[in-house]
Amino acid sequence: MKDTIVLYPAVGRGHLQSMVELGKLILTHNPFFNITILVPTPPNTTITKFDHTTFDCDSAITFHNITAISSPHGGDTLPPHLLAVELSPRSNQNFHHTLRSISKTSRLKAIVLDFMNYSAPNVTATLGIPTYFYYTSGASSLAVLLHQNGLVPVPGLPRLLKSDMPEPCDPSHPIHHVFLDIGRSMRQSAGVIINTFDAIESRVIESLKEETMPVFCIGPMLSTPSGEEDKNGCLSWLDSQPSQSVVFLSFGSHGKFSKTQLKEIGIGLEKSEQRFLWVVRSELDEASLDELLPEGFLERTKEKGMVVRNWAPQAKILSHDSVGGFVTHCGWNSVLEAVCEGVPMVAWPLYAEQRLNKVVMVQEMKVALALEKTIDGFVSATELGERVKELMDSNEGKEIRKNIFNMKIGAKEARSEGGSSLVALSRLGQLWKE
């Protein structure tokens, strides 16, 4: 029998992609293990079932599908972030059967759960398998999750406003009780693996060491979609731009804006007088760019700007020498990509833990400028234009650029021999070998 580590992501391609990258990382530094990834597939939905052969994986990584039990309450129509936590308890029966089946041919040394699979320890405890959680965001949002029913202020973090907190921290939120359960499950686990590293969240990481469970900071680990192609010619366009002169604007796969907000962004970019590469996602999928943007915008800015619809190869763009700034939704993977490439940011959070990430980026890491919004979340052209210009052409912008360059060095050191992240991976490997 081969020693095997089981990874159990939440439903959704992003969660699966992140677990695949974790599996590869574990194998790179602990090649004596096999990795089995369980793929949750929700029943009775239009969510695409993933073809795991599209992932470029070592033969030591295998996949097993787990189907959830249908809900009589129509839960399968929930939005993705709610569906993930709703599926967790419903999948436990098939999860249990799958683990017993795998254990007939493998020695299960540990199981690593996506934090959304909060109810799975009810199964692993009956089988005596050491259980860990993998937290794909940063240590700061983990600290908030663990302390939302306790200490305020949160140890290791600046003072937080209610508006900075993720929505489920609100007791009136429909899954608030689930997030309390997630925190309890994590505290009772064998440990929590976090996609961060000491240099960017040192204060809060130190405070997490006081928790009942061990923490293992193994980042930065980046989840870049396989086959990331430049279909729009973004990289060719960047090749013709001066070094560090272009501001890149991209807001993630769910970052769609109204026509009014898109027009305001366009006006703001013109006001900034900076070169830009802008990925436009709209609530109106069928509308043309000419309909969505200010009249004549594309013609007026064609010498200094490029606009593409829906998607661009973000990792490759951020690594390009011409890119000197990044207006981001503050998703953690995007933050890590920018840090690893030394690209300073303007923070425009949209949902989930992104508002909290903004506070950390601006006040703790000091690698971003914050955008001011109206009470309904609208950003004016003047505000965007001023912040972009400040990032690219001011003393404060230079200071932020210096800070993120130092963190880029810290990221490399964390992943180097003897670095904090590789030491954490080695600790895990030793625990799992015992």
Residues acting as catalytic residues: 15, 114
CA distance 199 to 99: 37
CA distance 307 to 297: 10
Which long-range contacts (C-beta less than 8 Å, at least 24 apart) are formed by 74-80?
76/42, 76/43, 76/44, 76/45, 77/45, 80/11, 80/12, 80/47
CA distance 91 to 93: 6
Q: Which whole-number Å values give the CA distances from 301 to 266, 295, 384, in the listed order?
A: 10, 11, 17
The Cβ of residue 30 has, within 10 Å, a number of other Cβ atoms equal to: 18
CA distance 25 to 414: 14
Enumerate the β-bridge partners of residue 275. 246
Provide the CA 15 distance to its chain's centre, in angstroms.
9
Task: Kindly tell me the sign of the dihedral angle through the C-alpha atoms of 357, 363, 364, 367.
Answer: positive
What stretch of H or E contains 346? strand 345-347
